[in-house]
Chain A
């Protein structure tokens, strides 16, 4: 009988068995490779936070040329596009959802301007989408200012002249923001789902009884599964990263070494989280629910995937400090967009290592009895 505290050959054969099972189930394999790609494309292409194409209705009570110039100026970028509304009620297109804003140009607009009198342009903005509303408001104000200047109506209005340059992302490609985040999301959700299912299934189908009947320790069991699903996760990562490179033009800007270290640590974190969920859940359904509700939702919302971490209200912002994806997203963005000095953000691997240790201990402890409940 082996007296060693931890038997590596057992861990290894556990991992081999898990992988053999894994590749025989087409749904699980599809989940591991196909679904992450689908998610990548969906999030990468469809999630666009930048505001454009907002339909704006215009009610022009004036007939002069200046008003038409003003309107043209309004739609000169693609942020706002004209709506087909031709009625007279300003609120109706908003009510009916046909436009996001109505701009009302008062009568005598052109004449007043030429005469140097004040003209008020009214705008009613649908503020359901707060982000859009602000952008539209800024757009109208900006357009107005630009219009005033270009028509030479207010001399010397250029006092402070900003020359704005975008760092890292001169083309303002949205994908550069979303895709690294998607990579992190995808590598968090799917490995943890697979790992949790594998453990919950052993309990549900009773095959875990054979493990209890041997002298396998909880740590060997968890470590074996960790090894197997970490391998799967890394293969997933390769596939997803390749797709990002090919379809979204992502390139390494920072140090690849830092990135790969963080990647391995993060993937291990995901698998460990899944194993913890699997050890706690009574059956496979419950395991999926735990991963979906706790893992997916928190990662989606609190990791900086869509909206910056900085914006999260306290006390939820505290939770985001323990969401591993938050650190890995930062690592991704460092490596693919910012390119800071290598290992300057050392707190990322440290946090991930800490996460791994905690999760591993928790799940080993949960399984430590290696006996039937009763």
Chain B
């Protein structure tokens, strides 16, 4: 794939130890306080993550750091001076990449270089190095608009690096990008950081936080916690138990009600339960005991808490969690008896000469949560559009709610719920007007309308705020409200396209609880998401790549299917070790996570081989252990292996 090129920086002027220092930083837009007394310190040469949901204030802070916006109060110093003075030494990758889509790759880089007065000879050398590092050399004259999401992101990175900045600001650089490109991107970032560039990343993705040296959790304009990921997890003083059992929902209910003193958190996923406990041994005993009582087999394993646990814990600590209102189902509950709601058999779709979807077979039963995962361009969007009847099928069969033909009929659509990725709600209407509209369009009877709308508003904590203009809501709230709008008419089948993008972890949990409630009542749910770890919530899922389904099954099944083991290595100096390993093994098998390397060992001797290689470079392995495959690891592995098959 990529040959790892080293970029040589001349350390003409070494950065001061603290690259960014903010004390009591405030920013208000009119009456709205976006940033409230933030203290921040970013140290030279580290990868710093600012982690938080939409509307938390990340972008405002980055705008201020980048010198493109004034702040309302407090102090901030970047590279020893004010942000606007420091601009020539800062590279800024903004949320929508800020690329000129009608210019070619080369023209974009050249323009960025000219903006910062990069000299001609230096420019040529830099561009070459950068393009080689990001594997964009053969796309030099392609228009930026014709690049895939991952390539655009890499191009944007090139543009921000061409002037050799000392500080690199990345505002949500991987939103909407496929997992393979995302991982590549982070590997590149690690290389860049190793050469002395300080990197600050704003992201809502908690899994990316694992790849930073230090992180700060931000919510509603305030920093909740700062530290390395490990420090934050340790600060919980809790451990996480993964519990796998049948009758999971029942078990979850019992655990939630009964053992509140031992168990501080219970979270349901598609095929497992996570519980947070202070005393793992007693908790394990308790759970096994309950299992015996119910007469079911229980499998418990001990793990470290995740950053999601940390975030939710701190969010819970500060405010009262809103009690989710009950949805008064009018329709009788439909048991999950295997009756299928959505069936696709060898479904294919062609656009001109191009087959976007080839031979996809999926079935989703009532009461099941099914996840459809895949990169942009994998055919996921086309598949979902076919499954909900928006576009027609070129070949193959489809059945929706028992109907084979006339999938566009008005009566069928009345039984479906659909949450589009981009926009479900009208930005220029008030919250109430949006809800009224959906009630009217789905023909909900007038007496039921008031109750449903009240429910929807309460479920996102917007009760009493009916006259807010929807466009002014932060993204996360809009998503929750949009969900409410889609389910008010009690659909039998629910299609959700990226339902939790931008939502904070607590709200995400609540949303998934809601989805589960509907599923338990018999609604078939088809979800797509880029956020692979979220797919754990699904009962079953399908991975798509290149228009085909490359893996299907429950989360546990998929992870179990992965060949080999995942080894976590710690070594010093880590960069040299990483590069050496990347050269010797297939590049998808080696990944760098801040101060750890993940290696996929396919054979017994792989670990020895790795030790040998690392030692040869003069580095020392300080520890290694086996860790479970995540869904992202599985997905990348599947996709890469499929590609290698094609090559062979």
List the interface of chain A (C-beta within 8 A of B).
Answer: 1-2, 7, 9-10, 13-14, 17, 20-21, 24-25, 205-207, 209-216, 371-372, 374
Q: Given the complex, which residues of B lie within 8 Å of A216, measured CB to CB?
A: 115
Interchain residue pairs A-B with the least CB separation, the first 7: A13-B114, A214-B115, A212-B68, A213-B92, A210-B98, A372-B69, A24-B102
Q: Given A24-B102, A210-B98, are A371 and B69 neighbors across the interface (CB < 8 Å)?
A: yes
Q: Which chain A residues lie closer than 8 Å to B102 at the CB level?
A: 20-21, 24-25
Q: Contact: A17 with B117, CB < 8 Å?
A: no
- Chain B nearest CB from A228 CB (Å) reads 13
Do residues A9 and B68 form an inter-chain contact, with CB atoms below 8 A?
A: no
B75 part of interface (Cβ distance < 8 Å): no
B463 to chain A, nearest CB (A): 30
- Rounded to whole angstroms, the CA-CA distance of A58 and B84 in the bound complex is 82
CB-contact partner of B94 in A9, A20, A209, A215, under 8 A: A209
A22's nearest neighbour on chain B, judged by CB, is B102
- Chain B: minimal CB distance from A27 (Å): 12
Known: A215-B87, A372-B63. A210 touches B110 (CB 8 A): no
Q: How far is the CB of A218 from chain B (nearest CB, A)?
A: 14
Report the separation of the CA atoms of residues A10 and B94 in the bound assembly, to the nearest whole angstrom.
21
Contact residues in B for A374 (Cβ distance below 8 Å): 27, 29, 60, 63, 69-70
* Nearest opposing residue in chain B for A211, CB measure: B115
Q: Chain A residues near B27 (CB, 8 Å)?
A: 374
Instruction: Quote the shortest CB–CB distance from A152 to chain B (angstroms).
Output: 78
Which chain B residues border A17 with CB–CB below 8 Å? 100, 103, 107, 111
- Report how far A2 CA is from B88 CA in the complex, Å: 9
Q: Are B67 and A20 in contact (CB under 8 A)?
A: no
Q: How far, in angstroms, from A210 to B66 measured CA to CA in the complex?
A: 10
B92 touches A9 (CB 8 A): no
- Asked whether A210 and B94 contact (CB < 8 A) given A17-B100, A17-B111, A372-B69, the answer is yes
Most A CB contacts (10 A, CB to CB) among B27, B63, B107, B115 go to B115
A-B contacts, 12 listed (Cβ < 8 Å): A10-B115, A14-B114, A17-B111, A20-B103, A20-B107, A24-B103, A25-B102, A213-B87, A371-B70, A372-B63, A374-B27, A374-B70
Give bound CA distance, A58 to B450, whole Å: 75
Q: How many angstroms between the C-alpha atoms of A263 and B90 in the bound complex? A: 42
Q: Which residues of A contact B94 (CB under 8 A)?
A: 206, 209-210, 213
Q: Hey, which chain B residues are within 8 Å of A7, CB to CB?
A: 117
Proximity bits, B90-120, A CB within 8 Å = 1, else 0: 1010111011101100010011101111000
Q: Give A17 to B115 CA distance when docked, in angstroms.
A: 11
B28 to chain A, nearest CB (A): 9
- Residues in A neighbouring B63, C-beta threshold 8 A: 372, 374
- 4 further A-B contacts with Cβ under 8 Å, apart from A17-B103, A214-B87, A374-B60, are A7-B117, A20-B107, A206-B94, A213-B87
User: Which residue in B67, B92, B107 is a CB contact (below 8 Å) of A210?
Assistant: B92
A210 CB, min distance to chain B CBs, angstroms: 4
Task: Enumerate chain B residues within 8 angstroms of A214, measured Cβ to Cβ.
Answer: 87-88, 115-116
For B92, list chain A residues within 8 Å (CB): 209-210, 213
B68's partner among A24, A25, A213 (CB-CB below 8 A) is A213
Q: Are B117 and A9 in contact (CB under 8 A)?
A: yes
Between A and B, how many residue pairs show CB distances below 8 Å? 77
CB distance from B528 to the nearest CB of A (A): 26
Residues of the A chain whose Cβ atoms lie less than 8 Å from the Cβ of B116? 214-215
Cβ contact within 8 Å between B88 and A215: yes
Question: Does residue B278 face the partner (Cβ distance < 8 Å to A)?
Answer: no
Measured between beta carbons, the chain A residues less than 8 angstroms from B29 are: 374
Contacts of A206 in B (CB 8 A): 94-96, 98
Query: Contact partner of A1 among B67, B69, B88, B100, CB < 8 A?
Result: B88
Within 8 A of A (CB), among B195-209: none
Alpha-carbon distance A372/B114, docked complex (angstroms): 22
Q: Does B143 interact with chain A (Cβ within 8 Å)?
A: yes
Q: Which residues of A contact B111 (CB under 8 A)?
A: 13, 17
Establish whether residues B115 and A21, one from each chain, have CB atoms under 8 Å apart when the complex forms.
no
Bound complex: CA A187 to CA B112 (Å): 32
Question: From A215, which residue of chain B is reached at the shortest CB distance?
Answer: B87
Question: Are B98 and A372 neighbours in the complex by a CB distance under 8 Å?
Answer: no
**Residues on B facing A (Cβ under 8 Å):** 27, 29, 60, 63, 66-70, 84, 87-88, 90, 92, 94-96, 98-100, 102-103, 107, 110-112, 114-117, 143, 159
Query: Given A17-B103, A213-B66, A372-B69 in contact, is the A205-B87 Cβ separation under 8 Å?
Result: no
Residues on the B chain within 8 Å of A21, using CB? 100, 102-103
Pick from A10, A24, A205, A371: contact of B114, CB under 8 Å: A10
Complex Cα spacing A45 to B143, Å: 42
- Tell me the minimal C-beta distance from A374 to chain B in angstroms: 6
Q: How far is the CA of A371 from the CA of B100 in the complex (A)?
A: 20
In the bound complex, what is the Cα–Cα distance between A7 and B117 (angstroms)? 9
- Does the CB pair A207–B69 fall under 8 Å? no
> How far, in whole Å, are A25 and B112 apart by their CA atoms in the complex?
21
Q: How far is the CB of A291 from chain B (nearest CB, A)?
A: 21
Chain A residue contacts of B60, Cβ below 8 A: 374
Interface centre among A209, A210, A214, A215 (most CB of B within 10 A): A210
Cα A303 to Cα B70 in complex, Å, equals 43
Asked if residues A207 and B98 are in contact (CB atoms below 8 Å), the reply is yes
Contact of B98 among A1, A13, A209 (CB under 8 A): A209
With A and B bound together, what is the CA distance between A207 and B101 in angstroms?
10
A10 vs B60: C-alpha distance when bound (angstroms): 28
Cβ contacts under 8 Å, B98 to chain A = 206-207, 209-210
A212 surroundings in chain B (CB, below 8 A): 67-68
B residues less than 8 Å from A25 (CB atoms): 102
Q: Is the CB of B88 within 8 A of A210?
A: no
Most buried by B among A10, A206, A212: A212
Q: Which residue of B lies closest to A220 (CB)?
A: B115
Q: Which residues of chain B are within 8 angstroms of A9 by Cβ–Cβ distance?
A: 114, 117
Question: Complex formed: what's the CA distance from A279 to B96 in Å?
Answer: 21
**How near does chain A come to B290, taking the closest CB pair, in angstroms?**
54
Interchain CA distance A20-B87 in the complex, whole Å: 26
Task: Please measure, in the bound complex, the distance between the C-alpha atom of A245 and the C-alpha atom of B110, giving whole angstroms.
Answer: 41
Residues of A within 8 A of B159 (CB): 210
A212 to B84, CA, bound (A): 9
Contacts of B100 in A (CB 8 A): 17, 21, 207
CA–CA, A102 and B42, complex, Å: 91
Q: Is the CB–CB distance between B90 and A213 below 8 Å?
A: yes
Chain B residues within 8 Å of A210, by CB: 92, 94, 98, 112, 115, 159
**Bound complex: CA A24 to CA B115 (Å):** 22
Report the minimum CB–CB distance from A52 to chain B (whole Å).
Answer: 50
Given the complex of chains A and B, what is the CA–CA distance between A212 and B87 in angstroms? Answer: 9
Nearest CB of A to B311, in Å: 27
Contact partner, A13, options B87, B96, B110, Cβ 8 Å: B110
Measured CA separation A364–B353 after assembly (Å): 50
- Give the distance to chain B from A211, nearest Cβ to Cβ, in Å: 7
Complex Cα distance, B104 from A20, in Å, reads 9
A372 to B408, CA, bound (A): 45
Which residues on the A side are within 8 Å of B87 (C-beta)?
213-215
A371 CA to B112 CA, complexed, in Å: 18
Which residue on B lies nearest to A373, using beta carbons? B69
CA distance A9 to B159 in the complex (A): 18
Shortest Cβ gap from A173 to chain B (Å): 44
In the complex, chain B residues whose CB is within 8 Å of the CB of A24: 102-103, 143
Which residues of A have CB within 8 Å of B84? 215
- Which residue on A lies nearest to B116, using beta carbons? A214
Name the B residues within 8 Å of A14 (CB-CB).
Answer: 114
A373 to chain B, nearest CB (A): 9
CA distance A25 to B103 in the complex (A): 11
Task: Name A372's contact: one of B68, B90, B103, B117 (CB within 8 Å).
Answer: B68
- The residues of A that contact B70 with a CB separation of less than 8 Å are 371, 374
Q: Which residues of A contact B117 (CB under 8 A)?
A: 1-2, 7, 9-10
